[in-house]
Structure 1
Amino acid sequence: MIQRILTFFERYSFGVCTYLGEWLNISISKIRLFFIYSSFLSVGFPLVFYFFAGIVLDIRHYIKRMRARVMDW
């Protein structure tokens, strides 16, 4: 049951922690723990940041895909 929940979140999450981990060369699990602990301490502000960063990353991926399509023509 726990494995199904973990795979669901890994598949459908925005990838913010992975992006930050690769960019800062920090373990992804440490960044996830930071978001979890800081959201408890600061009443959810990191969750707002996480969703905003996820939307920005999705827009960046969309723009890159569109540029690749234009360049293929």
Structure 2
Amino acid sequence: MKRLTDFIERQSFGVCEAIGKRVGFSSGSVRLSFVYASFFTFGSPIVLYFALAFWMNARRALRQQRRTVWDL
């Protein structure tokens, strides 16, 4: 079961894991809270999840593209 959740987390942008590391919670509890919040608010946290995933991928792409200001 752990391998399955690790695979899903890697394939789904790693947003819950990043939030969990930053806040100090386990990624499973953050993921579970996203699921519960999605049920109670009729899916609005899904929009937040995709916005965070876009932001994380954009930051990752910018860091890989140019490491310092002086790189050309």
TM range (shorter): 0.7 to 0.9
1-side partners of 2:16 and 2:24: how far apart? 11
Q: Which has the higher helix share?
A: 1
TM-score (norm 1): 0.81
Shift of 1:6: 3.9
Q: Does 1:26 align with 2:52?
A: no
Q: Percent identity?
A: 36
Where does the alignment leave 5 or more consecutive residues of structure 1 unmatched?
none
State the number of aligned residues: 72
> CA offsets per residue over residues 5-51 of structure 1, 9 Å max, x none?
64552331111101101100111111000000010000001100000
Q: Which has the higher contact order (CA 8 A, sep 6+)?
A: 1
Q: What is the CA RMSD across the aligned residues, in angstroms?
A: 2.3
Where does the alignment leave 5 or more consecutive residues of structure 2 unmatched?
none
The AA in structure 1 aligned to 2:36 is Y
1-side partners of 2:9 and 2:33: how far apart? 17
Runs of 4+ displaced beyond 2 Å: 2-8, 68-73
Map 1:1-73 → 2, pairs under 5 A = 6=5, 8-68=7-67
